[in-house]
Amino acid sequence: MKRTITIAAAALLLLAGCKEKKNMDNPFFSEWNTPYEIPDFGRIHTEHYMPAFEEGMRRQKAEIDAIVDNAEAPTFENTVLAYEYSGQLLKDVSSVFFNLAECENSPEMEAIEEKVTPLLSAHEDDIALNAALFARIKTVYDQRETLGLNPEQMRLLSETYKGFVRGGANVPEEQQARFRELNEQIASLTMRFAQNVLKATNAYAKELPDGGKVTLDIPTWEPFMQTCPDRALREEVWHAYADRCKGGEFDNTSIIDSIVNLRRERANILGFATHADYVLDNTLAKTPANVYKCLLDIWTPALKVAKQERDIYQRMLSADEPGAKLQPWDWRYYAEKYRVEKYAIDDAEVRPYFSLDSVREGAFAVANKLYGLTFKERTDLPTYDQEARTFEVLQGDSTVGILYMDFHPRASKRSGAWMTEFRGQHRTLDGKNVMPIIQVVCNFTKPTADKPALLNFDESETLFHEFGHALHGLLSNCTYPSIAGTNVPRDFVELPSQVMENWCRHPQVMKMYARHYQTGEAIPDALIQKIAAAQTYGQGFMTTELLAASLLDMDYYTLTEQQHVDPVAFEEQSMQKIGLIPEIISRYRSPYFQHIFTTGYDAGYYSYTWTAILDADAFEAFAESGDLFNPELAKKFRHLLESGNTVEPMELYRAFRGKDPSPKALLKRKGML
């Protein structure tokens, strides 16, 4: 019989054809036809993200349904591995979108983020609260000792089970609707918080009387605060920085109130007294009491040194302006002035030896001497911005991974420095190794027409720090993506980054990389000695402001009851409780404290101090051996980097060091013993 097609049917076929063509045009819907399967940045446009997110969620839902509907009894392969490798499209689009949302932001990207964030939260909850899926995983977990699993498989099973429990799998049915609502609200609020900080930072630019301008980006703001002799101007610019998002168009105070209370309520539903108890249950620290003890043990000697520094700067201010009282906007100015006088050293003397390229090459040289890695710049690979530099990382003739390094501020880029990944190392189900694609992002002052980008010494350490994170991702040698690379507890993840700072500051290593950008002359021994002598200078300020922020974080997230949180008043009470002197503020004031309200360091900012104990102790092993590049120790530390979260982290540390860490090396480094 001859088949006829109605006009309506023809229209539907035409629409289906258009949709299929549109999907074919979307670069996320096909394999990247690029070297090393790097994301095809040149073909990705904002209109591609939402269709890819929607399709990615649809596909993962189908994959989860297939696991649940499997008539066979649950096994490690058909349940745990099937779940581990589900959602690949969603992972691909998420890694590209959210990384670029931080360094290539735009109103269009913000609109997508606002739309997709609640959808992703609901999708994640659909999986985490899927009772049938959890029942299958629990069945496998309960049988784990009889399955003949190797240690990495056992770790994956344990971490997967624990992840579901922490994600709400045991939440009673009558509370699940509220649990989902909490997750969605928290996700939306954290996104708004970050957007407000970026907008507030970009909104300020102060034209200076002598020409030029100062912004709130640290590479311009901090040098200004260190060198501006005009006290009234310093005060104005300091307030612009320190009072961001405290009221006004980009106010974050009410958002903080909501986030803190919603996170506490969610923790209660999960069976924890506080949000901090919930977070720390999955860390090395384990309890808030352990964190407070760690921080307060260092707080006392640090505050003592900070008060000594304050007295020095007060005398200097009094000499300049009799009767004036030292204020936070004076601290950096007089600290720098005293440093120049005391150590006969200033940034203008240091920076010429620390060009960005020299410091980067120094970090590469350390990785070469420790691990045999080499770095080949590639200008032919896809990139998301012309400022981002791309390196092929090699071990001998074999490619280990791809490293993007994005160094300079842009209006589209959030402040700070971080490492992330476009793709993490793992192996596919058929055993193929998937190489990592790692990104390091910083905000160093741009080069000028006649000068390269010149770093101060703190910025040099920042580059080494983020590069240490990159090595953790690049050297990963794991099977399963969720426990590979940097997917380790928050208070362990900073060890690979912070330990690299020790090489950066060591005189022997400085002689390798610090060269004058004009003459090529190696840094003089006298200047190295000045830098080394100044290493303990200012540690009272730097340590107390860091500890203050860490204790403020813990105070927010150890609240046990619903209450109105006024961040300004709360922060003031928190600082008074620990006796922080008024001339110093928390490293981050609450309304722009992105670490604890947006980027995953909630009840975790202490980890920088916790891990500093580990990194100082770890580097002490190399120093004690008499060889900063001791091959045996480098091999042991590489094993730690390669292992991801496949082994309990402290087991990895003890295997490297042969003992538990001691805080003595850290206090010695800070000059506080």
Name the average pLDDT for the chain.
94
Contact 446, 408 (CB under 8 A): yes
Q: Which two tokens stand for residue 349?
A: 């003397």
- The residues pairing with 437 across neighbouring beta strands, listed in sequence order, are 402, 423
Separation between Cα atoms, residue 93 and residue 206, nearest integer Å: 38
The amino acid at 616: A
DSSP 521: P
Hey, CA dihedral for 93, 99, 105, 110, is it positive or negative? positive
466 is an active site residue:
yes
Which one of the listed residues 466, 545, 571, 583 is annotated catalytic?
466
Residue 347 confidence (pLDDT): 84
Inform me whether the pLDDT recorded for 652 exceeds 60: yes
Q: Are 367 and 393 in contact (CB under 8 A)?
A: no
CB atoms within 10 A of CB 479: 21
Of the candidates 489, 506, 516, the one whose C-alpha atom is nearest the C-alpha of residue 644 is 489
The pLDDT-based confidence of 219 (bands split at 50, 70, 90) is confident
**Radius of gyration for the alpha carbons in the chain, expressed in angstroms and rounded:** 26
Residue-range domains of the chain with CATH: 23-128+130-170 (1.10.1370.40), 195-337+541-589 (1.10.1370.10), 352-537+607-669 (1.10.1370.40)
Torsion angle of C-alpha atoms 564, 567, 568, 570, degrees rounded to 10: 70
Q: What is the pLDDT of residues 3-33, one digit of tens each?
A: 334 444 444 444 444 444 455 689 999 999 9
Look up the pTM and report it.
0.86
Closest CA to 39 of 85, 123, 95: 95
Q: How far apart are CA 308 and CA 312, in angstroms?
A: 7
Task: Give me the count of residues in the chain.
Answer: 673
What is residue 475's predicted lDDT score, i.e. its pLDDT?
98
The tens digit of pLDDT for each residue in 273-292 reads 999 999 999 999 999 999 99
Query: What per-residue confidence (pLDDT) applies to 279?
Result: 96
The CA distance from 441 to 615, in Å, is: 22
Residue 339's CB is within 10 A of a number of other CB atoms, namely 18
Residue-level pLDDT at 24 = 63
